[in-house]
Amino acid sequence: MWYFTIKQQNVTNEQYQSLQKKATLTEVELFNEPYDNLYLFEVEHYKAFVDYLDLEGLIYEVASERPSRSELMAGMQ
């Protein structure tokens, strides 16, 4: 499995729904400004997911192990 983290405010509903269909599991945390929203996608098909993210111009981080919630929050401080 691959774990993709997207930290952005400007993910559209269409982008989110498309990503959700490609992912095995999706987790979302919505934040107020000045913090970006946090999307975590668990994915089996790495290439197709990366291709979509790149075509849509979404900025992401990828890991082969699921990041803990504290690791995800630490990046926001």
Domains annotated on the chain, with CATH = 2-74 (3.30.70)
Burial class (CB in 10 A: 0-12, 13-18, 19+), 48: exposed
Q: Is the pLDDT of residue 33 over 80?
A: no
Two tokens at 28? 């979302």
Q: Is the pLDDT of residue 17 over 90?
A: yes
Please give the pLDDT value at position 76. 67
Please give the distance of CA 57 from its chain centroid, rounded to a whole number: 13
Residue with tokens 């992912």: 23
Q: What is the pTM of this model?
A: 0.86
Q: Is the pLDDT of residue 48 over 80?
A: yes
| Exposure string over 9-33, b if 16+ CB within 10 A, otherwise e | eebeeebbeebeebbeebeeeeeee
More confident residue, 35 or 59: 59
